[in-house]
Amino acid sequence: MSDLQDEAPLVEKSEKREPMGVLFWVCVGWIVLNVFGAIFANVLPLQNPLYQNYALVNAGPSLHHLLGTDDLGRDIFTRIVYGSRVSISVGVGAMIIGFGIGAPLGMLAAYRRGRFDAILTTVMYVLLAFPAIIATIAVLSFWTPRSLYKIIVVIGIASIPLVYRVIRTATMAVATKDYVTAAKVQGATDRRILVKELLPNIAPIGISFLLIGVATVIILEGALAFLGLSVNPPTPSWGNMINESRTVLAQNPWLALFPSLAICLFLLGLNFMGDRLRSHYDVTEVKL
């Protein structure tokens, strides 16, 4: 009886049903809109992101150029939409690598424990001590010429230890639950327990961390682009647009403002969704 009360307090259940809130869905809509724009950038009625109109350099916002033009007369709005392709593909690509390798390892380690877990966790902690951004800058500066796929691979690998740690901790919390023991007693295979019992229970935490992870990777890619270490110009990305604005800050503040706004709003959307999902599903947070 006391066990039952421990497992399922009635209050918590009603709290879990609480709606996500309008702001959450606004964020979802905003992110979906951005992703849609990134995928269909070349189908949408946009101008050519590389077309240089020397007659109209550093122009402010107008009807023809919604967000103005840059120092080479290129349309800023178009370049922001095309630029989202780089940020989003690096964010998603790197997280696919990070989760693809880090998450199964983390789950296995937390489920199996023993020597496998001990060795893997020590290795991951050693790797975590190595500052990811410095490692990324270092590898990208030597592994030339730089390209989108190399950036995705490097950041993806750098994120593995972090994903491993989060997923391992999340799995540890559920691996000792009674329903896992019950499944074991009934003779379920390890694979079945991992996929059918553990995975659905760590999925919410995993997804919320995934969203925040994508945001973190986008900041990292933006920083690399700002330093001129991401995709080469003239391909636009949010980071390298801000980088290009450095030299004309006084003449054309729009060139810095709009890409900054684009990246901040996108990150805010991702972080808000991630945070909301976490507090929605994480029992400890709800109690607070």
Partner 1 sequence: MLKYVTRRLLMLIGIVFVISIGSFYLIHLLPGNPATVIAGVGATPEYTAKLYKLLGLNRPIYEQYFIWMGNVLHGNLGTSFISQTSVTSVIGAALPIDVEIIVLSQIIAFATAIPMAMRSSRRPDGPLDRVLGASSFTLLSIPPFVVIVMLVLLISIKLGVPHTGPSSYVSLGTDWVANLESLALPAFTLAIGSFVVYYRVLRSDLIATLQEEFITLARSKGISQRRIMWRHAFRPSSVALLGTAGVNIGGLLASGFIVQYLLAIPGLGYTLITAIFNSDYLLVQGIVFVVSVGVVLINFTFDFIINIVDPRISRE
Cβ atoms of 69 and 61 closer than 8 Å: no
Q: Judge residue 186's burial from the number of C-beta atoms within 10 Å of its C-beta, 0-12 exposed, 13-18 middle, 19 or more buried.
A: exposed
Q: Is 76 in the site for partner 1 (CB under 8 A)?
A: no
3-state DSSP percent of the chain in helix, strand and coil, to 5: 75, 0, 25
Helix residue ranges per DSSP H, 40-75: none
Cβ atoms of 56 and 69 closer than 8 Å: yes
DSSP H/E element including 144: none
Q: Is 20 in the site for partner 1 (CB under 8 A)?
A: no
Quote the tokens at residue 20. Answer: 């996500």
Name which of residues 261 to 280 contact partner 1 (CB under 8 A): 263-264, 267-268, 270-272, 275
The distance of closest approach from Cβ of residue 6 to partner 1 in the complex, given in angstroms and rounded to an integer, is 21
The distance of closest approach from Cβ of residue 246 to partner 1 in the complex, given in angstroms and rounded to an integer, is 6
The distance of closest approach from Cβ of residue 187 to partner 1 in the complex, given in angstroms and rounded to an integer, is 37
Q: Is 260 in the site for partner 1 (CB under 8 A)?
A: yes
Q: Is 223 in the site for partner 1 (CB under 8 A)?
A: yes
- Interface residue with partner 1 among 25, 36, 116, 130 (CB under 8 A) is 130
Q: Is 286 in the site for partner 1 (CB under 8 A)?
A: no
Q: Is 228 in the site for partner 1 (CB under 8 A)?
A: yes
Name which of residues 236 to 255 contact partner 1 (CB under 8 A): 239, 242, 245-246, 249-250, 253
Cβ atoms of 79 and 245 closer than 8 Å: no
Q: Which stretch binds partner 1 (CB under 8 A): 89-97, 113-121, 127-135, 197-205?
A: 127-135
Q: Is 141 in the site for partner 1 (CB under 8 A)?
A: yes
Cβ atoms of 161 and 122 closer than 8 Å: no
Size of the site for partner 1 (CB under 8 A): 44
Quote the tokens at residue 199. Answer: 């995975």
Q: Give the side-chain half-sphere CA count within 13 A for 198.
A: 30
What spatial distance separates the first Cα and last Cα of the chain, rounded to whole Å? 26
| Cα–Cα distance measured from residue 222 to residue 251, given in angstroms and rounded to the nearest whole number | 23
| Cα–Cα distance measured from residue 86 to residue 235, given in angstroms and rounded to the nearest whole number | 9
Name which of residues 148 to 207 contact partner 1 (CB under 8 A): none
The distance of closest approach from Cβ of residue 203 to partner 1 in the complex, given in angstroms and rounded to an integer, is 24
Nearest to 78 by CA among 86, 87, 67, 88: 67
Please identify, using beta-carbon distances, which residue of 184 and 246 lies nearer to partner 1.
Answer: 246
- Interface residue with partner 1 among 33, 138, 203, 283 (CB under 8 A) is 138
- Interface residue with partner 1 among 2, 5, 14, 144 (CB under 8 A) is 144
Q: Which residues bind partner 1 (CB under 8 A)?
A: 125-127, 129-135, 137-139, 141-144, 215, 219, 222-223, 226-229, 239, 242, 245-246, 249-250, 253, 256-257, 260, 263-264, 267-268, 270-272, 275, 288
